[in-house]
């Protein structure tokens, strides 16, 4: 009975709950093929420990949204989303085709019109809240089965791309075909073939899906084919942190406890007189005045030490930051305590986390958006064939004015060495600083070499 209960709490659903209708598959065959996968057996592990780990299972998307209202959970989910896109990106074309600069500028304008930065931020933020985020690209098509079929770029006509719609997971239902359930060699094994949205099946190729780490196949149905959300990872630690922080003012108000030794039997025998005397004594005590006791009574005062209590509180919050993969110094806006850490390693690790989000999730979203916007808007406007773009993310670190000056000084010294060695001339160096957006000389007129000036003067004399 115990193991049956643990299995039910850990594996709330199976793939049978998400099999598409009409796939011609026998339910008994599917159950036989996966029944061993869901068998939970005791492997020399106490039932209490298995029960504790089973309690860490999926908490539900609605509960994730509820927990995400908390200020600390909201920061843990939203901060990486803002930081990953803060310094922006650059769109380039590296397929050997010559693209006019006006085309790239038009793509930037389309990105603003379609609010790409907003969608990227919400894509990551809401994905961390729910463990999954589905971005659907809205394309108006004359084909009524456009979304039921695999995505075909040639089906995007001029003006048909309307934007990005992100959908919360409780408005969607994953559906798997027979091959995705029974054949582990299938490329899309245990991956939804369709996502039913508004009663209509949407083929997965039309969607870009963000997951906060995929769970093993045996748990995918339980998580509705999403990932483990940040609220699920940190809700217990957030609760412990807030409770610990709330203890601080209570301890400050009651850090001094006074014990009066007296004849308890006599006090209980005349309770009214006892309570009156205690009230009078407490009045002088709370007024930090004189404490008066009888000759037959003894008094002791005990103080609770609060010297390291701030470190205890901050340690709890740092555990929240660790579970959310966000540095405590950034999440809390204060220096770490209790771990003897400077925060430098945490910042480097955080940048790696942001780069992973950029490369594995946001780049996919941008690539699909640019593919659609080029075929729908850019190519028809400029009368050119569709082309592919590449997204290059700008560095995450923002340099200070002093650091920019130091970098420019090093560049100038390198340029001077190259000019003196004859590798380049002053015209080349001037062209470099006019094209360097951080040089401080961007936009000034380019110098004309002496040879070009002589040629120009000879041409004028000849005329």
> In this predicted model, what pLDDT tens digit does every residue of 140-170 receive, in sequence order?
998 999 999 999 999 999 999 999 999 999 9
276 occurs within a structural domain = yes
CB atoms within 10 A of CB 6: 19
- Tens of pLDDT along 406-451? 888 898 899 889 889 888 888 888 878 877 777 777 667 655 555 5
Is residue 27 in some structural domain?
no
Instruction: Name every residue whose Cβ is closer than 8 Å to that of residue 223 and which is 6 or more positions away in sequence.
Output: 58, 131, 132, 215
Is the pLDDT assigned to residue 24 strictly greater than 50?
A: no
Confidence of residue 190 (pLDDT cuts 50, 70, 90): very high
| pLDDT of 95 | 66
Task: Answer yes or no: is pLDDT of 315 > 70.
Answer: yes
207-221 mean pLDDT:
92
Give the tokens for residue 142: 């004359």
Task: Say what percent of the chain tops pLDDT 70.
Answer: 79
Q: How far apart are CA 454 and CA 334, in angstroms?
A: 64
Give the angle subtended at the CA of 284 by the CAs of 282 and 287, to the nearest 5°: 105
320-368 pLDDT, tens digit per residue, is 999 999 998 888 887 655 555 555 667 788 889 999 999 999 999 999 9
- 24: CB partners within 8 A, 6+ apart: 178
Yes or no: say if 23 and 177 are a contact pair by the CB < 8 Å rule.
yes
**Which two tokens mark 99?**
């693209």
Q: Measuring CA to CA, which residue among 163, 165, 194 is closest to residue 177?
A: 194
Torsion angle in degrees (nearest 10) through CA of 25, 29, 32, 35: 10
Total number of residues shown for the chain: 463
- Rg for the chain (alpha carbons), in Å? 33
Confirm if 324 and 339 have CB atoms less than 8 A apart.
no
> What pLDDT does 452 receive?
47
pLDDT tens string 68-124: 999 999 999 999 999 999 999 999 887 656 678 889 999 999 999 999 999 999 999
Percent of the chain with pLDDT over 90: 46
Taking the C-alpha atoms of residue 445 and residue 388, their distance in angstroms, rounded to an integer, is: 33
pLDDT at 253: 65
Pull the structure tokens for residue 77.
């989910």
3-state secondary structure (DSSP) of residue 58: coil
Q: Rounded mean pLDDT of the chain? A: 83
**Any domain includes 410:** yes
Highest mean pLDDT among 29-38, 179-188, 361-370: 361-370
* 313, pLDDT greater than 80: yes
Task: Return the pLDDT at 27.
Answer: 46
C-alpha 384/C-alpha 374 separation (Å) is: 10
Mean pLDDT in residue range 381-403: 86
Pick from 59, 79, 202, 208: nearest CA to 132: 208
On whether the CB atoms of residues 215 and 227 are closer than 8 A, the answer is: yes
With a CB cutoff of 8 Å and minimum separation 6, the contacts of 457 are none
How far is Cα 138 from Cα 160, in angstroms, rounded to an integer?
8
DSSP 8-class letter at 169 = G
Distance CA 265, CA 400 (A): 74
pLDDT reading at 456 higher than 60: no
Higher pLDDT, 7 or 13: 13
How many domains would you assign to the chain? Answer: 2
The answer to which of 8-12, 178-182, 410-414, 458-462 has the lowest mean pLDDT is: 458-462
Q: What is the pTM of this model?
A: 0.77
Domain assignment present for 404: yes
Flag whether pLDDT at 379 surpasses 60.
yes
211 lies in some domain: no
Alpha carbons 337 and 318: distance in angstroms, whole number: 8
Q: Which residues contact 332 (CB under 8 A, 6 or more apart)?
A: 314, 317, 318, 321
Segments forming the whole domain that contains residue 445 = 399-462
- In a domain, residue 280? The reply is yes
Cα–Cα separations (whole angstroms), residue 426 to 272, 330, 407, 420, 439: 100, 45, 19, 9, 16
CA distance 321 to 116: 28
Give the span between the Cα atoms of 360 and 460, in whole angstroms. Answer: 59
- Domain presence at residue 296: yes
Spatial CB neighbours of 331, under 8 Å, sequence gap ≥ 6: 72, 75, 76, 79, 317, 320, 321, 324
Does pLDDT of 173 surpass 60? Answer: yes
CA distance 218 to 137: 30
Nearest to 332 by CA among 344, 317, 316, 347: 317
* Domain membership flag for residue 336: no
Q: What is the pLDDT of residue 341?
A: 53
């Amino acid at each position: 009975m115990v193991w049956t209960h643990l299995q039910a709490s850990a594996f709330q659903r199976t793939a049978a709950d998400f099999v598409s209708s009409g796939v011609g598959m026998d339910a008994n065959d599917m159950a036989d093929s996966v029944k061993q996968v869901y068998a939970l057996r005791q492997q020399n592990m106490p039932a209490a420990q298995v029960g504790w780990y089973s309690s860490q299972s999926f908490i539900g998307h609605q509960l994730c949204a509820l927990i995400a209202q908390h200020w600390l959970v909201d920061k843990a989910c939203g901060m990486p989303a803002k930081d990953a896109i803060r310094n922006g990106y650059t769109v380039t074309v590296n397929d050997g085709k010559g693209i006019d600069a006006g085309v790239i500028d038009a793509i930037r304008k389309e990105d603003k019109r379609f609010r790409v930065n907003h969608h990227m931020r919400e894509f990551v933020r809401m994905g961390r809240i729910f463990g999954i985020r589905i971005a659907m690209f809205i394309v108006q098509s004359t084909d009524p089965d456009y979304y039921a079929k695999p995505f075909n770029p040639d089906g995007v006509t001029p003006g048909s791309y309307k934007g990005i719609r992100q959908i919360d997971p409780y408005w969607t239902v994953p559906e798997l075909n027979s091959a995705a359930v029974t054949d582990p060699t299938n490329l899309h094994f245990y991956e939804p073939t369709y996502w039913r949205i508004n009663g209509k099946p949407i083929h997965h190729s039309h969607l870009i899906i963000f997951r906060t780490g995929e769970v093993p196949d045996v748990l995918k149905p339980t998580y509705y084919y999403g990932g483990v959300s940040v609220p699920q990872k940190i809700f217990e630690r957030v609760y412990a942190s807030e409770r610990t922080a709330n203890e601080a003012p209570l301890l400050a108000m009651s850090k001094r406890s006074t014990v009066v030794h007296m004849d308890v039997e006599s006090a209980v025998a005349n309770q009214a007189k006892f309570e009156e005397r205690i009230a009078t004594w407490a009045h002088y005590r709370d007024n930090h005045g004189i404490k008066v006791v009888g000759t037959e009574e003894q008094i002791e005062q005990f103080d609770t030490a609060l010297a390291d209590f701030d470190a205890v509180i901050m340690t709890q919050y740092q555990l929240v930051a660790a579970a959310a993969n966000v540095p405590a110094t950034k999440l809390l806006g204060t220096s770490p305590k209790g771990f003897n850490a400077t925060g430098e390693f945490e910042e480097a690790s955080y940048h790696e986390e942001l780069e992973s989000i950029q490369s594995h999730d946001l780049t996919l979203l941008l690539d699909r958006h640019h593919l659609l916007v080029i075929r729908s808007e850019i190519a028809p406007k400029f009368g050119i064939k569709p082309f592919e773009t590449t997204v290059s993310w700008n560095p995450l670190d923002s340099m200070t004015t002093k650091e920019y000056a130091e970098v420019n000084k090093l560049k100038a010294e390198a340029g001077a060495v190259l000019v003196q060695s004859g590798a380049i001339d002053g015209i080349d160096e001037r062209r470099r600083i006019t094209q360097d957006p951080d040089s401080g000389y961007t936009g000034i007129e380019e110098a004309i070499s002496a040879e070009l000036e002589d040629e120009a003067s000879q041409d004028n004399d000849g005329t």
